[in-house]
Amino acid sequence: MNRTRRLFSVASIAAVASLTALPSISAYAQTQTLRLAVTDIVGLENLQREYAGFQKILSEKSGMAVELFPVPNRTAAVEALNAKKVDLVLTGPAEYVVFKKRTDAKLVVGFSRPEYYGSVVTMVGSGIDGVQDLKGKKVALGDVGSTSRHLSPIQVLADLGLKPGKDMQIMHINRNVAVEAMKRGDVAAIGINRTDLPGLAKRYPDVAFKVIARGRDLPNDVLLAGKHVPDDVVAKMKKVFSDNSEALIAAVLLGPDDNQKFQGMKFIPSIADKDYDYIRRMYVTIGQPQYAAFVGD
């Protein structure tokens, strides 16, 4: 073999070696589409309206194809993640603990929601000055399973020494209907989140609302990756969010309806499973310590 042919052979071997040494993310990015589901938005049209801008920027900044994948409910999202039909899921804190239990999903990044907490509210002049005055009375909470309108207010009551369901009767009513019931004296207090209060005050100018208990700030909404997604892909996505925070936040806020809850948000790359232990306490409080099923499904 002459010198030229030997050099060509060495170069060819080096090229092959360099290709095989490339991180697996290259092969994954070239052969896979990352399918993204959002648990609280039903239907492809709604999903596209809220997240098409985010999907576009995330695809561009990551160099990986990201595709929106609609799911009809939270349980379907769990099944899709386990079946590898979806790769990424954006979900709330109450849902996360169930996803972790049933899918062992990986945390990618938190989507913070400023002033995200639940409260117990009554009316000025109602005679209710604190949560202890709710004993023997009716309290109206929001949809079963809602982190901020059901689980948070009920945990606030428990943290203050009450036994919801025993010390008072818990009802689940639409918040506007609940306010009307409170005005009539049919319920003594309602459970809402912080963002509900300004809207209710505007809708009911004749009612002077009074917060008698405020919940602690709730953990972040979270972007999860299925356990089938390679760790280096998860690491790359974390870096994409850190390096392109402003562009991705702006893209999230393009969503005209549901996404406005993220006004003032930041991405939180350092989230950990233990951050959601307070949510697990809520599940224990309502008698579901297994964290294995979505409340209200």
Q: How many helices (H) and strands (E) does the chain have?
A: 11, 11
- Contacts with 90 (C-beta within 8 Å, 6 or more apart), sequence order: 36, 37, 38, 39, 111, 221, 222, 223, 224
Helix axes 245-252, 231-243, angle to 10 degrees: 90
Domain ranges for the chain:
23-113+219-285, 118-214
87: closest CA among 102, 73, 68? 68
Residue-wise pLDDT tens digits, 27-73: 555 557 899 999 989 999 999 999 999 999 999 999 999 999 999 99
Band of pLDDT at residue 13, cut at 50, 70 and 90: very low
Cα–Cα distance for residue pair 223/203, rounded to 1 Å: 34
- 222 strand-pairing partners: 91, 110
41: closest CA among 114, 97, 91, 99? 91
Which two structure tokens, joined as six digits, stand for 2? 């002459």
**CB burial string 1-40: b at 16+ within 10 A, e below:** eeeeeeeeeeeeeeeeeeeeeeeebeebbeeeebbbbbbe
Domain 118-214 belongs to what architecture?
3-Layer(aba) Sandwich (3.40)
As a whole number, mean pLDDT of residues 2-13 equals: 42
Domain 23-113+219-285 belongs to what architecture?
3-Layer(aba) Sandwich (3.40)
Average pLDDT, the chain: 89
pTM value is 0.85
Q: CA–CA distance from 165 to each of 40, 145, 285 (Å)?
A: 27, 15, 10
Alpha helices in the chain (DSSP H): 3-21, 24-31, 44-62, 74-82, 93-103, 152-159, 175-184, 196-203, 231-243, 245-252, 277-285
Q: What is the SS3 assignment for 194?
A: coil
Contact (CB, 8 A) for 295 and 286: yes
Q: Is residue 219 predicted with pLDDT exceeding 90?
A: yes
User: Do 118-214 and 23-113+219-285 have the same topology in CATH?
Assistant: yes
Residue-wise pLDDT tens digits, 232-284: 999 999 999 999 999 999 999 999 989 999 999 999 999 999 999 999 999 99
Query: Where does residue 294 rank: exposed (0-12), middle (13-18), buried (19+ CB within 10 A)?
Result: buried
